[in-house]
Structure 1
Amino acid sequence: MGFMSYQGRAICYHSHGEEGKPLLILAHPLGMNQTVWEGVLPYLIPSFKVVTWDLPGHGKSEALAEDATEIMPDDLAGEVLALADQVGEERFHFVGTSIGGVIGQQLLINHSDRLISAVLTNTGAVIGTPENWQTRSTDVLDKGLGLMAEQIVPRWFGQLACRQQPGLIDAWKHKLAECDNRSYALLCEMLGQTDFRQKPLNKEVQLVLVGGSDDVATPPQSLQQLADLSNADAPIILDGIGHVPSVEDPVLFSKILLTNMY
């Protein structure tokens, strides 16, 4: 585990694997942390140097400043570029889930020269509605994530994962409750304001889209819309999977990553 400073804030990251291998950076979903990648790391490390990190106020990364009024997708993309610089690599592969996929889209729009390939999962050019994200932000600030976790976490996982991994939901309720309320709320507001439908992604970078048949937050049609906008191949939709394939079926998800990154 390491820490770096970015815009005056400490970011927690892990670098796994050997020097000299292609760099792969992984971006986790909102309300989670970099431990979502633990199940896939054993499969990826033989082929890549893998870097994971915690979003602002998530995991062990420092919260956004108390006087912060907003955060933008390019701020988060800047964290990715800073991480690549931190480990001494100019170009890298990128995998992002949910808000991580939003970060990936921002990289494809403004920083595609740094990308070798991108796999975006369980995301969309637009996610939800501004009204719903503003409501979520307000509720989190009023009630706290400890109380909101009961409502939020069950939406993350398909029934298959819940049956096969008893205690999955309870474990992630605890982890969500540890997130900084204000940072989470500002990220909700960012998602409500983000709409990439009129911002074409760079089509020269290899792009693979992955979704889950049971994902209620970013259903398969969100991935299909993104495929249509980017001229990517049809999304790979995983049967019985919800919003977090790296947690729900890390073996299958790892196979997809290794098959589609080169």
Structure 2
Amino acid sequence: MAFLKHKGRTICYRLLGDNDKPLLILAHALGMTQGAWDEVIPGLLSKFRILTWDLPGHGGSAAWPEASEQISAEDLAAEALALADLAGANTFYFAGTSIGGVVGQQLLAYHEHRLTSAVLTNTGAVIGTRDGWATRSADVLQKGLNSMSAAIVPRWFSTASCQQQPALVEGWTVIMSRGDDRSYALLCEMLGTCDFSEKLQQLRTPLLLVGGSDDVATPPALLETLAQISGAAAPIILEQVGHVPSVECPGELSQILIDYMV
């Protein structure tokens, strides 16, 4: 792990691989950490230099400052760009899941010149509803992630994975429970306001969409709508996979990234 001071806040990141390879930045889902990419990375290092980081209040990254009352998609995109600059990459490949896919959409909409191509998984131009995210935010501030994580984490994975790998669910429940409540709540509020429906029509950057057949948080229909909005090809839908393919089928996702980006 390494750390970057960005706008007064500490960001935890990893930069792996050979300097002469193109940079691929990977963004994790809400409530997880950059560890969600651990099983994908080994299959990518022969082709890419890999950069991962923890979102605000997640993993080793500091909580969002008390003086700031909101987090925007642009704030998260700015973190990705600052890390790319640190790595010395004027352009880079990008892959993101869920809220990581929202970061990718922000980069595509406003910083497209920095991207070589993008793969977004388990995301949407609009995810959920403003009221739903406001309720989640209020619940987290009142109850805390420690009490809510056991109900949220099983929704990340397919029924088969939950039944066959109970330790997987338990492990990620522990990780989520250790996150910063306020940062998570602010990210929920951000998701409730994000709408890329009219921001991705003129894309020049190659874009691939990937989802899971068993994803209840961002079902395949959301990706199909995003494909229509952005002009991307029909999404690749992975069977018996939930919200986080980097955890449930890392080898398959690694191959998809290589096949599309190389």
Q: TM-score, normalised by structure 1?
A: 0.98
Q: Partner residue of 1:50? A: 50
Instruction: Give how far 1:203 is off.
Output: 1.9
Instruction: Give how far 1:49 is off.
Output: 0.3
Give the AA of the match of 2:213: S
CA contact (8 A) 2:201 2:231 kept: no
Q: Partner residue of 1:80? A: 80
CA contact (8 A) 1:137 1:189 kept: yes
Instruction: Give how far 1:160 is off.
Output: 2.8
Q: Deviations over 1:33-84 (max 9, x none)?
A: 0000000111001110000000000000000011221010011000010000
Measure, in 1, the Cα distance between the counterparts of 2:147 and 2:232.
Answer: 39
Instruction: Give how far 1:202 is off.
Output: 4.5
CA contact (8 A) 1:57 1:179 kept: yes
Q: Deviations over 1:8-28 (max 9, x none)?
A: 100000011111100000000
Give the AA of the match of 1:124: G
Q: Partner residue of 1:165? A: 165
Measure, in 1, the Cα distance between the counterparts of 2:49 and 2:202.
Answer: 24
Instruction: Give how far 1:201 is off.
Output: 4.8
* RMSD between aligned residues: 0.9
Measure, in 2, the Cα distance between the counterparts of 1:41 and 1:149.
Answer: 26
| SS of match in other structure, 1:168 | helix
1:141-180 paired onto structure 2 within 5 Å: 141-180=141-180
Q: Partner residue of 1:10? A: 10
Measure, in 2, the Cα distance between the counterparts of 1:153 and 1:259.
Answer: 30
Measure, in 2, the Cα distance between the counterparts of 1:118 and 1:160.
Answer: 29
Q: How many residues in Structure 1 have an aligned counterpart in Structure 2?
A: 262
Q: Deviations over 1:178-221 (max 9, x none)?
A: 11000000000000011111212542101000000000000000
Q: Partner residue of 1:25? A: 25
Q: Which residues of structure 1 form unaligned runs of 5+?
A: none
Q: Partner residue of 1:59? A: 59
Q: Which residues of structure 2 form unaligned runs of 5+?
A: none
1:82-121 paired onto structure 2 within 5 Å: 82-121=82-121
Instruction: Give how far 1:164 is off.
Output: 4.2
Give the AA of the match of 1:128: G
Runs of 4+ in 1 over 4 A off after TM superposition: none
Give the AA of the match of 2:85: D
CA contact (8 A) 2:158 2:241 kept: yes
Give the AA of the match of 1:123: T
